[in-house]
Amino acid sequence: MKTKLQEWMIASIGRSIHAVRMNLIILQPLEVDAENCAVLSDERAQHIRKVLKAEVGKELKIGLLNGPLGIGTVQTLENQTVELSCIFKEEMPPKPRIDLLLAMPRPKVLKRMWAQLAALGVGRIVLLRAEKVERYYFDSHVVEPGFYNKLLIEGLQQACCTRLPDVQVEPLFKPFVEDRLECEFSNHWKLLADPSGEKRLRNFQPLSSFAKAPADLREKSRRILLAIGPEGGWTSYEREMLKDRGFELIGMGDRILRTDTATMGLLSVLNELFGSDR
Amino acid sequence: MKTKLQEWMIASIGRSIHAVRMNLIILQPLEVDAENCAVLSDERAQHIRKVLKAEVGKELKIGLLNGPLGIGTVQTLENQTVELSCIFKEEMPPKPRIDLLLAMPRPKVLKRMWAQLAALGVGRIVLLRAEKVERYYFDSHVVEPGFYNKLLIEGLQQACCTRLPDVQVEPLFKPFVEDRLECEFSNHWKLLADPSGEKRLRNFQPLSSFAKAPADLREKSRRILLAIGPEGGWTSYEREMLKDRGFELIGMGDRILRTDTATMGLLSVLNELFGSDR
């Protein structure tokens, strides 16, 4: 018995594929039956037939949403449907170690960020109101799960990952920061990107030793929470509130970057220096 | 006496400003007269009046295209024109140390990359044909100077920089790589981003010592040439040709990223670890 959300999730996986490079076919757990067989009839099936030009016996890279990667062998190809026999790996891919506290960007900007956030790898995304964030941004369809999950899954299929970022929308700054931030992110290393930040990521002492640490040590290390302000910046009140809760200010140099460029850039730097992948 | 290109450049600076965050007003050398006065009557004037709400006496951040930063003081505000009295700094901002050898992306992708390349800082951009690049990409208007300079200047005005990247279009792979690459980039540290690259930027030995080196040493160090392949990757022939000319393979982890995301990410990582800014 599938719930409405599950039904929708399956539909959205199928819908998401047009014009996107699908380096991984993502399956919902409910799509795989007890014999490890999955029958696809949506855009994924089209992609397998038309782009990958798969024939019976062809092995495809597959992944279970929020689960392991694996191999799907084409069993039958009929009309619009493709039947895959699935074998999944034992181990689960690790959850991306970086979480993001993002002052809600303009809907147009956020729209183009979703897939790339999933592709670069983020564990959890908190979209937060700030003084310089218009209230109406939160009424946009780009913060509806039906909209963003589709784009997040596109990003996962592009990047060959299965971990769907958790998304949390917080339309009130003060209650979230005062009452819940510390509790929900109690063990995170907290970084606040800000033009006033003089410390650079390249100069962090723990970082250089960290990069040299063996993989299993890195694996066990703390998660990171990266906070990125709105286009106009945090107010000094907001900045102080965050600093009081353990955020360290970091700078990115002299250049003033667009929110989306700054976010992708900082995620790339953090992934390079602290990422849990090889 | 202004040349046609100069006329166009001045016009394009004016046109470029709509809906862009203009953190710096960029002026063409020819717009500033012998008394260091500049009269603007295009979108920059509108931006100064309507967005910055400047009054007589207000000091604005200005920059000379490919020249120094400075301060422009509003002298008069009349109808559509703004008169600025300009003082420029003595020192020239350094040229960004990274050059980019980019397999020509799809025009739609390149279009949205231009401003961000200028904002992140690139000295020179070579757009190269490769086996997996469609020939017709080179017929697109997105590789015409009249189109891309407008977007590059938008990026500079966003990021508060003045150095316009040099753009070079190379529709033939072999002649460029065989006959000119080594000569034109003889002293560069050459990096080739490729899924087969196992070395990560974080592990480069020169890098860790480099990051700790004093600023003046970093300043004098070699330039970097970063090569990024097409969506489908370089062919092994192309990869070997580049390796034979001194390119070192670097990897970015397990994730498969879109060309634009990979480019912005690698530029951010290289800027963070090797950038000449503070």
pLDDT digits (tens, 9 = 90+) for B114-160: 999 999 999 999 999 999 999 999 999 999 999 999 999 999 999 99
Q: Please give the share of chain B, as a percent, with pLDDT higher than 70.
A: 86
The answer, for B113 touching chain A at a CB cutoff of 8 Å, is: no
Residues in chain A with CB shorter than 8 Å from the CB of B267 are 265
DSSP class of B47: I
When scoring B269, B273, B276, B277 by the number of chain A Cβ atoms within 10 A, the one with the most, hence best to mutate, is B269
Query: Considering only alpha carbons, which residue of chain B is nearest residue A21?
Result: B258
The answer, for A152 touching chain B at a CB cutoff of 8 Å, is: no
When scoring A116, A157, A261, A263 by the number of chain B Cβ atoms within 10 A, the one with the most, hence best to mutate, is A261
CB A127 within 8 A of CB A167: yes
- B38 CB-contact burial (10 Å; exposed 0-12 / middle 13-18 / buried 19+): buried
Cα separation, B90 vs B121, whole angstroms: 21
Residues in chain A with CB shorter than 8 Å from the CB of B160 are 254-256
Cα separation, A192 vs A197, whole angstroms: 8
Q: Is the dihedral of CA A168, A173, A179, A184 positive or negative?
A: positive
Would you say residue B5 has pLDDT above 70? no
The 10 Å CB-count burial string (b at 16+, else e) for B235-253 is: eeebbebbeeeebebbbbb
Inter-chain touch A261–B116, beta carbons under 8 Å: yes
Q: What is the pLDDT of residue A213?
A: 53
Residue B201 — very low, low, confident or very high, per pLDDT cuts 50/70/90? confident
Q: What is the pLDDT of residue A240?
A: 97
Query: Considering only alpha carbons, which residue of chain A is nearest residue B270?
Result: A269
Q: Could you list the pLDDT tens digit for every one of the 278 residues in chain A?
A: 455 556 556 555 544 434 557 899 999 999 999 999 999 999 999 999 999 999 999 999 999 999 999 999 999 998 889 999 999 999 999 899 999 999 999 999 999 999 999 999 999 999 999 999 999 999 999 999 999 999 999 999 999 999 999 999 999 999 999 999 999 999 899 999 988 888 888 877 544 455 555 554 454 468 999 999 998 899 999 999 999 999 999 998 889 999 999 999 999 999 998 876 54
The 10s digit of each residue's pLDDT in B152-176 is 999 999 999 999 999 999 999 999 9
Residues in chain B with CB shorter than 8 Å from the CB of A256 are 21, 23, 119, 158-160
The answer, for B91 touching chain A at a CB cutoff of 8 Å, is: no
CB B22 within 8 A of CB B47: yes
Q: What is the pLDDT of residue A2?
A: 55
Residues in chain A with CB shorter than 8 Å from the CB of B120 are 255, 257, 261, 265
Average pLDDT, chain B: 88
Query: Considering only alpha carbons, which residue of chain B is nearest residue A231?
Result: B21
- Indicate the residue of B261, B272, B277 with minimum beta-carbon distance to A201: B272
Cα separation, B177 vs B237, whole angstroms: 12
When scoring A196, A268, A273, A277 by the number of chain B Cβ atoms within 10 A, the one with the most, hence best to mutate, is A268
Cα separation, B47 vs A164, whole angstroms: 41
Q: B16: closest CA among B167, B166, B169, B148?
A: B148
Q: What is the pLDDT of residue B147?
A: 97
Q: What is the DSSP string of B94-160?
A: PPPSEEEEEE---HHHHHHHHHHHHHH--SEEEEE--TTS-GGGGGSGGGSHHHHHHHHHHHHHHHT
Q: A15: closest CA among A152, A144, A136?
A: A152
Q: What is the pLDDT of residue A216?
A: 44
Residue B133 is which amino acid?
V
Q: What is the pLDDT of residue B11?
A: 55
Tell me the pTM: 0.87
Q: What is the pLDDT of residue B146?
A: 95
The answer, for B201 touching chain A at a CB cutoff of 8 Å, is: yes
Indicate the pairing of strand A98-103 with strand A124-128.
parallel
| Site of tokens 């099936």 | A45
Q: What is the pLDDT of residue A222?
A: 82
Residue B10 — very low, low, confident or very high, per pLDDT cuts 50/70/90? low
Q: What is the pLDDT of residue B208?
A: 45
Inter-chain touch B119–A269, beta carbons under 8 Å: no
The 10s digit of each residue's pLDDT in B207-236 is 445 555 555 445 456 899 999 999 889 999
- A80 CB-contact burial (10 Å; exposed 0-12 / middle 13-18 / buried 19+): exposed
Q: What is the pLDDT of residue B125?
A: 98
Residue B15 — very low, low, confident or very high, per pLDDT cuts 50/70/90? very low
Helices and strands: H and E segment counts in chain B: 10, 11
| Site of tokens 């490769």 | B130
When scoring A61, A89, A200, A254 by the number of chain B Cβ atoms within 10 A, the one with the most, hence best to mutate, is A254
Q: Which of A141-145, B11-15, B243-247, B258-262 has the lowest mean pLDDT?
A: B11-15
Beta bridge pairs of residue A110 = none
Cα separation, A173 vs B41, whole angstroms: 41
Looking at residues B26-49, what average pLDDT do you find? 94
Q: What is the distance in angstroms between the CA of the first residue and the CA of the last residue of chain A? A: 39
The answer, for A211 touching chain B at a CB cutoff of 8 Å, is: yes
Inter-chain touch A21–B116, beta carbons under 8 Å: no
Would you say residue B52 has pLDDT above 80? yes
Residues in chain B with CB shorter than 8 Å from the CB of A157 are none
